[in-house]
Amino acid sequence: MKFLAFSDLHGNLKVLEKFEKIISKLNFDLVVCAGDLLNYYLNPNELEKLPFYEEFIYNLRVPFLMVWGNRDFERFSNRPYPLRMAFNLDENDYCYKQKWRFTSKIEKLDSNSILVSHTEIQNLNEKVPFLQIWGDTHIAKILYRKHPCIDLGFLFRDEVHGSGVMEGLFWIIEISSNRKMSFNWYPLEKNISPKPFFLIKRNNGLDEYVLPSYLKNNETYIKKITGE
């Protein structure tokens, strides 16, 4: 199984268009969004963009799974955005080929589960999923606990967050038939330094950086971003 994962677009249609062009050249079985696809909370006119979001999902030609983030709700009524073409993981689990279960519910976790949430869930009541992913923090990172955890970062960070406006990254995660997992992340802007939005924390306490596949052998660039 190979799936594409991202989070936190915050309703930027220009970035969505760019994202669509990039991923149209890639192969994957499904797409997972960890929330804040939209900007409904701050912009009631976000409803006018509904046809663009639904066209994006339709053009994927694969299932689009999503959990709702805080920006995906209307501010005063607390109603979610009426995105009918997305599979809502907050309501139902999604099973891929009767083996892998994508879920947002702690009580459903087992060794074949992929836990998806908008904010990080730290207390899993001793349950151990195969993988855990979330967004919201806008600081992409990998955490090695009893199970691997990926903070997806952001696809677009706007001025509301008190930081510079910035295009972010998305992920391709692949799980083989013998349960080995590989993952690569891809920035929307190839020339951007990954240091502001990507960090790995390992159990030994040392910080490490993971580069996109096209920079893995670029030692000069690695030294530049890590300062080593």
pLDDT along the chain (228 residues), means of 10: 96 96 96 94 88 95 96 85 92 95 96 96 93 89 85 87 77 93 85 52 52 48 47
Closest of 75, 149, 95, 93 to residue 119, by C-alpha: 149
Question: Structurally, what CATH architecture does the domain formed by 2-226 represent?
Answer: 4-Layer Sandwich (3.60)
Q: Measured between alpha carbons, how far is 106 from 210 in angstroms, rounded to an integer?
A: 29
* φ, ψ dihedrals at 134, nearest 5°: -155, 180
pLDDT of residue 93: 97
Q: List beta partners, residue 142.
A: 150, 200
Alpha carbon separation from 52 to 5, 16, 71, 81, 84 (Å, rounded): 19, 9, 17, 13, 13
Whole-prediction pTM value?
0.84
Closest of 160, 116, 146, 122 to residue 134, by C-alpha: 116
Domain ranges of the chain: 2-226
Q: Which residues contact 137 (CB under 8 A, 6 or more apart)?
A: 119, 120, 151, 153
